[in-house]
Structure 1
Amino acid sequence: MKSPVSFVVAALALAWGGAQAQGTIKIGEINSYKAQPAFLEPYKKGMELAVEQVNAAGGVHGKKLQLVTRDDSGNPGDAVRAAEELLAREKVDVLAGSFLSHVGLALTDFAQQKKVFFLAAEPLTDKIVWESGNRYTFRLRPSTYMQVAMLVPEAARLQKKRWAIVYPNYEYGQSAVATFKKLLAAAQPGVEFVTEQAPPLGKIDAGSVVQALADAKPDAIFNVLFAADLAKFVREGNTRGLFQGRGVVSLLSGEPEYLDTLKGETPEGWIVTGYPWYAIQTPEHKAFLDAYQKRFKDYPRAGSIVGFNAIQSIAAGLRKTGGSADTEKLIAAFRGLQVATPFGPITYRAQDHQSTMGAYVGRTALQQGKGVMVDFRYMDGARFQPSDAEVKQLRRAAE
């Protein structure tokens, strides 16, 4: 015969199990909302839309998703402190987010130290899934390698020999430039890189940078600047005629976050990666666009897609685990996980935890006083990866 205490313990266990089955899965999200609002305000809306859609459909195995966000001020130390607080005080089940590459690397290391699942939604540095990768970290957005690899065939077609390069002097910029040099030199033997300008992030002296590039007399320019640095660079470059008669290949510059800021100053004919939301005609994207505009009375930006896909990815992983947020089960679920997105299906590669989400490549143009992308096509991220053998070598310390 069981004691009264045994009955109490059994009853409590049953009640706890029922609460868990009908409970909430908490996603702790850390990002540079104040430092990078142009991208991250739409990103947050994308996440909110996805959470609402998942929960309206009954959640994941009966569990609702709850988003708990923190601002990292664009600082790795603040990001780690936020992650610690989310785990200790908010008791979140998984971590997600980050925008700037050096912040993403700090959270990647934190995930390994604390053995917690982390989905790096936006930071682009290759190190997150290669040299500094680990079993706890997966990455959604196409990396610097992938996006540069999408641009290099177009750069080679320009048949320009003398290239100048400008980039923000931190991990993302350095990574993008190293890949561009390597891939373009392989695609176009004999190419020369005649000058580099690497201003600190957010602190560009645009006049000096533009003059230094012009003095080198390049045939073409590879640009990696974004946000306020990009706007200052374009304005000064237009004023001084830097772009006239020169090919320009520019990472991210076709995203509406940045074209909206440039407005009528948008240079025409740049080869860019971006997001032409206004002209994508696939059923998946139309469904997303309609839902987003109905919910927010606004059009989506690239950040909106990333935020939406991040939550949908976590939900897909949780469905595969049966609703469990156990770290090891999520890791197993994400390796080879397929997710339906507004860009079509994507897969999280087992070999390096990188998703195959792609990007659009096209040219900039002015239409009705606004910058847009034209002559674009979608590049499937699965096509722009190193070989498995190369990935294995790059990731040799990750597991």
Structure 2
Amino acid sequence: MFGYTLAAVLLATGMARAADEIKIGEINSYSGLPAFTLPYRNGWQMALDEINAKGGVLGKKLVVVSKDDGGKPADAITAANELVSSEGVVMLTGTFFSHIGLAVADYAKQKKVLFLAAEPLTDAVTWSKGNKYTFRLRPSNYMQAAMLAEQAAKLPAKKWATIAPNYEYGQSAVAVFKELLSAKRPDVEWVSEQWPPQGKIDAGAVVQAVAATKPDAIFNVTFGPDLVKLVREGNTRGLFKDRTVVSLLTGEPEYLDPLKEEAPEGWIVTGYPWYDIKSADHDTFLKAYQAKYNDYPRLGGKGVMVDFVYLDGAKYLPSDDVVKKLRPQD
């Protein structure tokens, strides 16, 4: 993700296991957002194949047991419980939507099981609602908003509007961007906030409402099909003409590619320019991904291409001992 490989620590709990394998439990919204989660699955499947081809982990075959949460926190908790209680997984990983990540993080705290959150961006996962059993792979809302706020502060724009999906991720992203930009630019004014429901945006109404406030710039947090509808409607109605847009995630190919010739130009975005990252590690990943799938990677695929880090002299340890290794400062 952004050219680096993310790391997870894999060790077993004290529960009985099949002698020849170690299981990881993976949960994600495959049916809810396939454009992102299917490349993500490609990434972990490639990592899994490579690890097992080299002898597995601690001399044992690594197995991923995957479940679809359907985009629902309750289903994610049911899946987590089945994975831990019935499948005997040694850790949980995955989740996409922030509110689902928070639900699984709370489950991990209650059950004292390691949880590596793959995609949720809300800061609460590791901050206000974090716990010692939960770790995150991706840069959080704060990290990405800070990058964007730094660039936004250089713009002459004073009047800002925001558009974000009305759930944990969108709410968290808008709050931190407003805080950071206002600190850098006390003269900015927030003239409009639009909160369309995730996956159900009425783009025409949103564009009309934003345009009515005549902002100098827009902070956008929508993604996926909602982003496509917003860009299409905004282009048609001239919302983006002579107006700066700062946009979270829009530079990720999962969200940029569906726009095709309608893709906006000149927006300030976070993303994954897979074609322009120059590093030996990324070159290796890119070649392997293209060879295996005959396609270029998306951020989801890169983000979960994990290295498994072995603790020196480690054998099977309970989760609390793993946490001590991961959090030596605690």
1:160 matched residue in structure 2: 157
CA distance in 2 between counterparts of 1:325 and 1:85 reads 21
Encode CA deviations 1:129-155: one digit per residue, 9 max, x unaligned: 011111111111111011000111111
CA gap 1:190/1:321 in 2 versus in 1, 3 angstroms: farther
Kindly provide the amino acid, as one letter, of the partner of residue 103 in structure 2: A
Kindly provide the amino acid, as one letter, of the partner of residue 214 in structure 1: A
Contact kept, 8 Å, 2:17 with 2:88, in 1: the verdict is no
1:42 matched residue in structure 2: 39
CA distance in 1 between counterparts of 2:304 and 2:17 reads 26
CA distance in 2 between counterparts of 1:332 and 1:180 reads 33
1:329 matched residue in structure 2: 321
Encode CA deviations 1:85-129: one digit per residue, 9 max, x unaligned: 111211111111100000000001000111111111110010010
1:195 matched residue in structure 2: 192
Determine which of 226, 231, 238 is the counterpart of 2:228.
Answer: 231
Cα root mean square deviation, aligned:
1.7
Contact kept, 8 Å, 2:112 with 2:320, in 1: the verdict is no
Determine which of 262, 272, 275 is the counterpart of 1:275.
Answer: 272
Larger Rg: 1
1:264 matched residue in structure 2: 261
Q: After TM superposition, list the pairs within 5 Å mapping 1:1-399 onto structure 2.
A: 23-309=20-306, 312=307, 315-316=308-309, 318-320=310-312, 322-324=314-316, 326-335=318-327
CA distance in 2 between counterparts of 1:190 and 1:71 reads 46
Percentage of identical aligned residues: 59
Q: Does the residue aligned with 1:27 lie in a helix, a strand or coil?
A: strand
1:24: how far off?
Answer: 1.3
Encode CA deviations 1:193-238: one digit per residue, 9 max, x unaligned: 0001001111110000001011100000000000111110000000
CA distance in 2 between counterparts of 1:62 and 1:319 reads 14
Kindly provide the amino acid, as one letter, of the partner of residue 328 in structure 1: D
1:296: how far off?
Answer: 1.2
CA distance in 2 between counterparts of 1:250 and 1:202 reads 17
> What is the TM-score normalised by the length of structure 2?
0.92
1:77: how far off?
Answer: 0.2
The runs of 4+ residues in structure 1 deviating greater than 3 Å are 19-22, 318-321
Contact kept, 8 Å, 1:108 with 1:134, in 2: the verdict is yes
Q: List alignment gaps of at least 5 residues for structure 2.
A: 1-13
CA distance in 1 between counterparts of 2:58 and 2:27 reads 25
CA distance in 2 between counterparts of 1:79 and 1:21 reads 25
1:23: how far off?
Answer: 2.4
Q: Does the residue aligned with 2:162 lie in a helix, a strand or coil?
A: strand
Encode CA deviations 1:337-388: one digit per residue, 9 max, x unaligned: xxxxxxxxxxxxx57xxxxxxxxxxxxxxxxxxxxxxxxxxxxxxxxxxxxx
CA distance in 2 between counterparts of 1:22 and 1:137 reads 27
Contact kept, 8 Å, 1:321 with 1:333, in 2: the verdict is no
CA distance in 2 between counterparts of 1:231 and 1:58 reads 44
Greater CA drift, 145-154 or 322-331: 322-331
1:330: how far off?
Answer: 1.9
1:301: how far off?
Answer: 0.1
Contact kept, 8 Å, 1:321 with 1:329, in 2: the verdict is no
CA distance in 1 between counterparts of 2:179 and 2:120 reads 21
Encode CA deviations 1:173-210: one digit per residue, 9 max, x unaligned: 00001101110011112100000100111111000000
